[in-house]
Chain A
């Protein structure tokens, strides 16, 4: 049966990219927002430079937009210029620098993509608490 599934869905031998996200209400702001989070993004080394990661991120943005997300956030290492470029090209903004965020001592940027019109009368506070990043 496993063989059959693999024959029908030959993903295991030919998977070259994946994106994994979540989408949850975020209550630290008032009013609460529906916040998407890009948790993992990977493209096989041999197939980089073809826009695969960009296409995956766009698909995730579209799916979360359809589900009425207010914003999408993620963290990326500050030295990761290609990733920063990818996300900023898609409209993500730097919202916060996370000093020595990673285990290797590198700092990160929190990036945010705003999907809805920002209310100019509301307090513009995009600072985010650390608990966002932790599966609860």
Chain B
């Protein structure tokens, strides 16, 4: 673990500030413009997931966490990280190239 104990302390303190800040004020939409999809974190997709996670959590922090704070948790307990994304209701047809490539990956 690369994070120092001081970093960790700050992380622990700030992390609950995140929970606080994100829950403090709410102006709910009447209906969500799409379907909620719950996704479990997968380490091989760190390069996709982690920037998005950091962006979301950092919004409510006065000082962003070091990437090591995230990695401390995600390396060891990625199976205890869940994400939600909003899938738009309107279905857009997939580009042919994507279908072609994905079908070859998973074939």
Contact = CB atoms under 8 A, between A and B. Distances in A.
Interface string B9-26: 111111111111011111
Interface in B32-60: 32, 36, 38-39, 45, 47-49, 51-53, 55-57, 59-60
Contacts of B85: 10-11, 14-16
Given A42-B19, A42-B57, A76-B19, 12 more contacts: A15-B52, A18-B81, A21-B73, A23-B80, A41-B18, A46-B29, A60-B82, A63-B79, A64-B80, A133-B9, A135-B72, A136-B8
Contacts, number: 199
Q: Which 9 A-B pairs have the closest CB atoms?
A: A49-B28, A133-B12, A48-B26, A17-B84, A135-B8, A80-B20, A21-B80, A12-B52, A134-B8
A127 interface: no
A90 interface: no
Contact of B84 (A12, A20, A36, A52): A52
**Size category, A interface:** 35 or more
B87 A47 contact: no
Interface residues of B, number: 61
A76 B22 contact: no
A103 B7 CA distance: 13
Given A47-B86, A108-B16, A4 B98 contact: yes
Contacts of B70: 20
B73 A20 contact: yes
B107 to A, nearest CB: 15
A86 B20 CA distance: 11
Contact of B11 (A36, A60, A82, A135): A135
26 contacts: A4-B101, A8-B98, A9-B39, A12-B48, A14-B86, A15-B55, A17-B83, A19-B81, A20-B74, A21-B81, A22-B77, A23-B77, A39-B73, A43-B22, A44-B22, A45-B25, A45-B59, A50-B29, A52-B84, A55-B84, A56-B84, A80-B19, A83-B19, A103-B13, A104-B17, A135-B8
